[in-house]
Amino acid sequence: MGAENLKAAPVDLMFQPHPARIVRVLPQMEGHRLFQLRFVDDDAMLLFSHGPGQFVEVGIPGVGEAPISLSSPPTRQGIVEICVREAGLVTSALFRMNKGDQVALRGPFGRGFSTDLFKGHDLLLVAGGLGLAPLRSLLWTILDNRSEYGKLVLMYGSRSPDDVLFKYELLSLMNRADMQYLLSVDKDDEGIWRQYVGVVTGLFEKVELDPGNTYCALCGPPIMYRFVIREILKKKISPKRIFVSLERMMKCGVGKCGHCAIGQYYCCTDGPVFNYDEIRDVKEAL
Amino acid sequence: MKTLAKEMLEGLLRDISRKALVYCPQRNERGDLLLLPLGEGTTDGCIGKTPISAKICLFPQIEDVVMFAGDGISKVTDGRETVVFGVRPCDMRGIVFMDRFMSRDNLVDPHYFARREAMTCMVVACNEPPSETCFCTATGKRPFLTATHYDVQFFDAGDYFIALAGSKKGNRILEDRHFKAAAEKDIEKVKRIKENSSAAGMAAGELEDAIKKLAEDRVDGLFWEKLALRCIKCGGCAYVCPTCTCYNVQDYPFEFGYRRCRSWDSCLFSGFTRETSGHNPRATQGARLARRYEHKLKYDLMKYHEIGCVGCGRCSDVCPVGLGAIEIVREIALMP
Ligand SMILES: Cc1cc2nc3c(=O)[nH]c(=O)nc-3n(C[C@H](O)[C@H](O)[C@H](O)COP(=O)(O)OP(=O)(O)OC[C@H]3O[C@@H](n4cnc5c(N)ncnc54)[C@H](O)[C@@H]3O)c2cc1C
Ligand code: SF4
Ligand code: SF4
Ligand code: FES
Q: Is the pLDDT of residue B140 over 80?
A: yes
Give residue-wise pLDDT tens across range A11-38: 799 999 999 999 999 999 889 999 999 9
CB contact under 8 A, A6 and B302: no
Q: What is the mean pLDDT of residues B67-92?
A: 95
Give residue-wise pLDDT tens across range B273-317: 999 999 999 999 999 999 999 999 999 999 999 999 999 999 999
Calpha distance A179→A152 (Å, rounded): 5
pLDDT value, residue B100: 97
Give residue-wise pLDDT tens across range B176-186: 999 999 999 99
Cα-based torsion angle of the residue sequence A128, A133, A138, A141 in order, rounded to the nearest 10 degrees: 140
DSSP 8-class letter at B31: -
Distance from residue A266's CA to the centre of ligand 4 (Å): 7
If we measure between CA atoms, which residue out of B140, B144, B149 comes closest to residue B127?
Answer: B144
Q: Which of A16, A65, A258 sits opposite B245 (nearest CB)?
A: A258
Q: What is the mean pLDDT of residues B248-258?
A: 96
Distance from residue A100's CA to the centre of ligand 3 (Å): 47
pLDDT value, residue B281: 95
DSSP-assigned letters across all residues of A99-152:
TT-EEEEEEEESB---HHHHTTSEEEEEEEGGGHHHHHHHHHHHHHTGGGS--E
pLDDT value, residue A74: 94
B-proximal residues of A, 213-272, CB under 8 Å: 222, 247-249, 251-252, 254-259, 261-264, 269
If we measure between CA atoms, which residue out of B85, B94, B74 comes closest to residue B43?
Answer: B85
Q: What is the mean pLDDT of residues B82-106?
A: 96
Cα-based torsion angle of the residue sequence A247, A248, A252, A253 in order, rounded to the nearest 10 degrees: -30
Q: Which CATH number fits domain A115-279: 3.10.20.600, 3.40.50.80, 3.90.190.20, 1.10.357.10?
A: 3.40.50.80
Please report which confidence band the pLDDT of residue A10 belongs to, taking 50, 70 and 90 as the band edges: low
Query: Domains of chain A: which residue ranges?
Result: 11-109, 115-279
CB-based contacts of A191, cutoff 8 Å, min separation 6: none
pLDDT value, residue B46: 75
Report the mean per-residue pLDDT for chain A: 93
Report the mean per-residue pLDDT for chain B: 94
Measured between CA atoms, the residue of chain A closest to residue B115 is A1
pLDDT value, residue A6: 35
The CATH homologous superfamily of the domain defined by A11-109: Translation factors (2.40.30.10)
Calpha distance A262→B303 (Å, rounded): 13
List the beta strands (DSSP E) in chain B: 2-5, 21-27, 33-37, 42-43, 62-69, 72-77, 82-87, 119-124, 152-156, 160-165, 180-181, 247-254, 257-264
pLDDT value, residue B4: 97
Q: Is the pLDDT of residue B122 over 70?
A: yes
If we measure between CA atoms, which residue out of B267, B228, B264, B65 comes closest to residue A249?
Answer: B267
Please report which confidence band the pLDDT of residue B204 belongs to, taking 50, 70 and 90 as the band edges: confident
Calpha distance A145→A73 (Å, rounded): 11
A281 touches chain B (CB under 8 A): no
Calpha distance A286→A267 (Å, rounded): 12
If we measure between CA atoms, which residue out of B94, B124, B99, B119 comes closest to residue B109?
Answer: B99
Which residues on B lie below 8 Å from A269 (Cβ)?
105, 107
Q: Is the pLDDT of residue B245 over 80?
A: yes
Strands A102-109 and A122-128: unpaired
DSSP 8-class letter at B299: I
pLDDT value, residue A191: 85
Query: Domains of chain B: which residue ranges?
Result: 2-64+76-196, 204-249+265-333
A282 touches chain B (CB under 8 A): no
If we measure between CA atoms, which residue out of B48, B6, B46 comes closest to residue B160?
Answer: B6
Radius of gyration of chain A (CA): 19
Calpha distance B162→A242 (Å, rounded): 60
Please report which confidence band the pLDDT of residue A189 belongs to, taking 50, 70 and 90 as the band edges: confident
